[in-house]
Amino acid sequence: QQQVKQSPQSLIVQKGGISIINCAYENTAFDYFPWYQQFPGKGPALLIAIRPDVSEKKEGRFTISFNKSAKQFSLHIMDSQPGDSATYFCAASMDTGRRALTFGSGTRLQVQP
């Protein structure tokens, strides 16, 4: 049973456009929702994260929107650049115990110049 579902699997966006990646979770005990960016041959790097007590968090060109009632959250990349081309993973965790991350299946983003 996949606890965090991510879509789309792949995304092609023109330079300057908006990239949107969506995730849905099932476990209501999750209370931390990070997004990771992974380049080929590298480990995932934390991009931005949100707690469920806020509906939106913005850091530069990256924004997380969070809908607690729908159990959904999304990543928006404004003014997408070719350097943003990477695989993006949403994840979820509980703030107790192991605090291990449950990952979505990833979205391969390609930003065309």
Partner 1 sequence: EADIYQTPRYLVIGTGKKITLECSQTMGHDKMYWYQQDPGMELHLIHYSYGVNSTEKGDLSSESTVSRIRTEHFPLTLESARPSHTSQYLCASRAEQAVGYQPQHFGDGTRLSIL
Q: Which residues bind partner 1 (CB under 8 A)?
A: 6, 32, 34, 36, 41-46, 49, 51, 87, 89, 93, 95, 98-106, 108
Smallest distance, partner 1 to C-beta of residue 45, A: 7
Rounded Cα–Cα distance for residues 111 and 3 (Å): 28
Q: Which is nearer to partner 1, 41 or 113 (CB)?
A: 41
CB 45 within 8 A of CB 36: yes
Q: Which is nearer to partner 1, 91 or 111 (CB)?
A: 91
